[in-house]
Amino acid sequence: MPPVSSRLPVFPWDRLEPYKAAAAAHPDGIVDLSVGTPVDPVPALIQRALAEASDSPGYPTVWGTTTLRDAIIGWVERRLGATGLGHRNVLPVVGSKELVASLPSQLGLGPGDRVAFPRLAYPTYEVGARLAGAEPVVYDAGTFAAGAVAADLDPEGLKLLWLNSPSNPTGQVLSRDELRAAVSWAREHGVLVFSDECYLELGWEAEPVSVLHPDVCGGSYEGIVAVHSLSKRSNLAGYRAAFLAGDPNVVGELLQLRKHGGMMVPAPVQAATAVALGDDAHVAEQRARYAARRSALRDALEGCGFRIEHSEASLYLWVTRDEPCWDTVGDLSKRGILVAPGDFYGAAGERFVRVAFTATDERVAEAVRRLG
């Protein structure tokens, strides 16, 4: 077996360790804005649901309980505007990152197949392609703008097209027209679309739309699957709670494969997920927290010379001072602030940094003080 180092890029956050150490040496401690990990409490109603289901000695099912599937369908129809979904359209998964990293392999892709994802993107899309032995290819964010497909996206050998709206890292949101153009193009060329929509409930200056919305998919789920997570909207990163919704043929094939692999969401997590999807109040409360932190950091960054691009959704600000990203990382680390260099997400991000606003109110206030 070839060593991992020859098959995969260097794990990005390993490169950040010296800067983390420098930031941690600040006399008032580190303000870590490098990773979008939730810091606020898990809502009490979700904790209760988990606890009440804790006496679960038997194996859970890969497909999930009927209650969970009903909750997923209800949320997708209520929140995404999808219609006509049944249990064959949905599938819980063990966190969305596991799904992204293993999907090309689960789909049976390999040498000679191509997997496309945005030029600025979450690194795991590329990792998934490489793990399967498929060829990773990138496309520009404006590829589907105005209904025209850029020449850089060649359909030859392309088996899987990743969409990501809202984007990680940029926070860019694709319009209905762009999503519709992407779905139409993919269907024309027989390319399967997976849309990573994990930040969909965190729109600030734009209203994100799902590929499952009838304005995008025309009321048919053929060839499209949406990926959703409760990590950000419900503070459940530690629960590994996520799900798929879309084409029943694709979902059904993944269900059969995942049964063989024993890829089961733990029973207490299934119960907690069902409760979380049925409650919108805690999501609104968390949005309000993030909105306040976002506003404070945005004002502080712009006040000390940074320019913010996109960032109309998600949990990040995509910022630049028109210098190499590692220079920005180094400068901020001296102030005790740790951010993610933009080149973690592709060479096109080499003059940007990604600033998460998932720190506590106290740490965000401290970052604002230091930036001021």
Domain spans in the chain, listed from the N-terminal domain onward: 4-41+282-371, 55-277
pLDDT per residue over 173-186, tens digit each? Answer: 999 999 999 999 99
Annotate 248-272 with b (16+ C-beta within 10 A) or e (fewer).
bebbeebbebbeeeebbbbbbbbbb
Predicted local confidence at residue 143, as pLDDT: 81
CA distance 181 to 21: 45
Can you give the pTM of this predicted structure? 0.94
Examine the pLDDT at 148 and tell me if it is beyond 60.
Answer: no
Domain 4-41+282-371: CATH superfamily, name plus number: Aspartate Aminotransferase, domain 1 (3.90.1150.10)
Task: Give the residue carrying structure tokens 């909207």.
Answer: 233
Predicted local confidence at residue 141, as pLDDT: 76
CA distance 175 to 342: 24
Top pLDDT among 106 and 149 is at 106
Q: Quick check: 47 and 283 in contact, CB under 8 A?
A: no
Q: What is the pLDDT averaged over residues 193-203?
A: 97
Selected from 3.30.70.20, 3.40.50.1010, 1.10.10.60, 3.40.640.10, the CATH number assigned to the domain covering 55-277 reads: 3.40.640.10
Examine the pLDDT at 325 and tell me if it is beyond 90.
Answer: yes
CA distance 295 to 232: 18
